[in-house]
Amino acid sequence: MIPYGRQDISEADIRAVVDVLRSDWLTQGPVVPAFERALAERCGAQHAVAVNSGTSALHLACLALDVGPGDLVWTSAITFVASANCARYCGADVDFVDIDPKSYNMSVAALAQKLEAAREAKRLPKVIIPVHLCGQPCEMAAIRALGERYGFRIIEDASHALGARYRGEPVGSGEHSDITVLSFHPVKIITSGEGGAALTGDARLAKRMQNLRTHGITRDAADIAHPPDGAWYYEQQELGLNYRMTDLHAALGMSQMVRLDEFLGARKRVAARYDERLAGLPVARPWQHHDAESAWHLYVVRVQKDHRAVFDQLRAAGIGVNLHYIPVYRQPYYARMGFDRAQFPEAERYYGEAISIPIFSQLTEAQQGEVVKGLKAAVS
């Protein structure tokens, strides 16, 4: 089976993890801060807060922006459930915005229309979470302009998009958002096994997320409420969580960062070959916005006829296609909230047509040839 994605682990990666195993620190040591500095530098951010998953980073971002009961958070209709769950963890309500028919990201036109209706209903969102689906950045300048007009904060879900660029700037720079979230799951651009990070240009937000990832505890003399009882003194100042990343995971992430450009280049070449070899087939290939440079986490094609049959035939041929994603509002947990599928026509069309075909840095030309051959047979 050719998987749709997989990690690329080198001997250098293994040595980096072994070095930590032989060190004095398996967690809360020096490697996590080093990884954070590397991420911040690469993404053009002032601060990076490493955590144990991208989901944890989304949750911390919501907490840092004071999302809570009675608040409303909107995200894309097509995304992994974590982009919505993070708001529910905080007790907030969730709604969805339909996708753009070309980029499959949150539609700016649909967002603007929904915001105007929300203003009239006096129920505007506190936070918007646009998702850089497949690695292609959303139209962040337009979303930011709407944020300034309607007063919402922005969390970029860049779980697919480490190394992507928007208007020449790296995703994560924070120019158009309050916080950007990354994921280092094994199928992502780089991996730390499991792991994630939140990037921000706001020192206050960074500090709060750092405290929240460690039970809400601080040892900072500038922040503690009472004179310390001794050198051991610390204070839990709010209800936090244990979302720390270990030094083992950070060591793998640090080592992978060395090859980030290699991974990005390989994915770009795979995407270019697909573009060339799938031309002429009755499938829609990924469209790229002129302001965006994708990290190519996923390569999604759309078939308008016999979608299920094409998917099943490719799986039967040993090609590990997948579908990213089922619209979140269709999930039983969210469907019970009464969402009307008719409000999301583009997401519904996408779900009936989309197939993610294999793309990863080690995908060989021969394997890619098998994918193309299988897809041609399935849609013919």
244 and 219: one domain? yes
**Domain range holding 143?**
2-257
Match 């993610």 to its residue by tokens.
Answer: 356
Q: How far apart are CA 87 and CA 69, in angstroms?
A: 9
Q: Specify the pTM.
A: 0.97
Q: How far apart are CA 199 and CA 188, in angstroms?
A: 17
Total domain count for the chain? 2
Phi-psi region of 373 (alpha: psi -120 to 50; beta: other; left: phi over 0): alpha
Confidence grade of residue 343 (pLDDT, cut at 50, 70, 90): very high
Q: What is the CATH number of the domain that holds 166?
A: 3.40.640.10
Q: pLDDT tens digits for 109-163?
A: 999 999 999 999 999 999 999 999 999 999 999 999 999 999 999 999 999 999 9
Q: What amino acid is encoded at 197 in this protein? A: A
Quote the Cα angle for 169-173-178, to 5°: 135
Q: How far apart are CA 283 and CA 279, in angstroms?
A: 8
User: Phi and psi for 145 in degrees, rounded to 5?
Assistant: -60, -40
Residue (of 312, 321, 302) closest to 359 by Cα position: 321
In the structure encoding, which two tokens stand for residue 369, read together?
């040839």
User: Residue 121: its pLDDT value, please?
Assistant: 98
253 and 265: one domain? no
Q: pLDDT tens digits for 123-134?
A: 999 999 999 999
User: Phi and psi for 167 in degrees, rounded to 5?
Assistant: 50, 40
282 and 334: one domain? yes
231 and 314: one domain? no
280 and 248: one domain? no
11 and 158: one domain? yes
